[in-house]
Amino acid sequence: MFSLQLIDRAPLVPATHPMPNGNTLFYFPNANIDLVKLDFTFEAGSAYQQLRSQAHAANQLFGEATSLHEASAIAEFLDFRGIVVERMADVCQGNISFYFLRKYAQELFPLLREMFDHPLVTPQLFEAYVGRRRQTIATNFQQTKYRARNRFYELLYGFEHPMGCYATVDDLDLLSLDAVSAFMRQHYQLPNAHIILGGCVDSELLALADRYLAPSPYAPQSPIRLPQPLQPSNGQTDALFMPAAVQSSLRIGSVLPFQWDHPDYAPFMVLNTILGGYFGSRLMSNIREDKGYTYGIYSQTQIFRDSIVFFITADVAAEATRSAVEEVFREIALLQQQPVPDEELERVRNVMMGDFIRSIDGTFEISERYRQMVFTHVTEQFTDNYLHAIQHVTPATLQRLAQKYLTTLTTVTAGPCND
């Protein structure tokens, strides 16, 4: 079994660099690599938008062009230097990450400042985005997994809630270039940015950040708090009939009635791992290995801002849809009726400790873990709770948690079987 003494906790805490404008830059230095990862994260998720896909469009189009450089020139600049750009927009935040060799920082940072000072969305870029987005949504709506996921969150939160709504093709007809540009100007501003550097960070790189990434004054945007569902909505059931599909997707779960710092959450993560959180889990052993209904079935908990969702997900053979759901609830019932054997619990302890060590095995992994913690409002107490639960949770506690929290679950299936 792994020991907590083997884990060096210090790397999870970033170094800080006060910037001239009052902002603070967070960084994870590693002199042994030549790469740098630069994260800009903003309060710019879909919860802030007035039109569906507005936040996604602003995230995807930011920095594509400026009023000083056309999109083709910026793309050529990045491609020639092997600079990789990753973009992500979820409910609360928008994130843009740049991966680059340290030697290109002197050239890249002025361009980054230009992206913020002179943002531009041309009609050509906007129309190209709408075309791509329209095709992506249309394709996704043909996928059982996508439909099951959307309906699951809609049932849990309600379609008017930021967590429960999703974009359709028709929504793109209401989106405009002006709306996207306005969202970009309001939310993608350097004074609102949470900046994280990882990798080959030295004094020269920090000086470049001070020069180009520290406009004055610093005026951070207040983080949004997501509303709670109007009423408890766990325990619903729905089946989406998709006759052209060749398989079914299922999603079973609930909004958990606590936050990340609740005493039950970390032990519940151990329970989740036993149920479906690793390849040797009970769901995988039963529904994949024994029954052959699926190539993979998993369960997990996901921390969002202001709520946590537990869910089980799988793609199964269409004719096995009902049987797979029944087996899921049979495995849950076993956890409620019988204590977890010591041997199984010990195996799961080792799996979870190994997963944790891998999650902090690298500068970029650590910086991403930190970024996620900041924007879900999670502190390092979460890690302490997690490691303590792995070491000390008992079979009796796991049985109690199964009886308390795995009782009223929402079930959604999508596929050719609608019974």
Q: What is the pLDDT of residues 375-415, one digit of tens each?
A: 888 988 999 999 999 999 999 999 999 999 999 999 999 99
Mean pLDDT (the chain) is 92
Q: What is the pLDDT of residues 224-248, one digit of tens each?
A: 777 766 555 678 899 999 999 999 9
Determine the pLDDT at residue 224: 74
* Nearest of 287, 292, 356, 363 to residue 325 by alpha carbon: 287
Q: Which band of pLDDT confidence, cut at 50, 70 and 90, is reported for residue 13?
A: confident
Domains and CATH numbers, the chain: 4-212 (3.30.830.10), 237-415 (3.30.830.10)
| Whole-prediction pTM | 0.91
Determine the pLDDT at residue 3: 44
Query: Residue 313 in contact with residue 298, Cβ under 8 Å?
Result: yes
DSSP string, 212-257: HS--SS--PPPPP-PPPPSS--TT-EEEEE-TT-SEEEEEEEEEES
Q: What is the pLDDT of residues 316-373, one digit of tens each?
A: 999 999 999 999 999 999 999 999 999 999 999 999 999 999 888 889 989 998 998 8
Residue 112, SS3 per DSSP: helix
Determine the pLDDT at residue 281: 96
User: For the chain, how are helix, strand and coil distributed in percent, rounded to 5?
Assistant: 45, 20, 30
Structure tokens given for 355: 């997963």
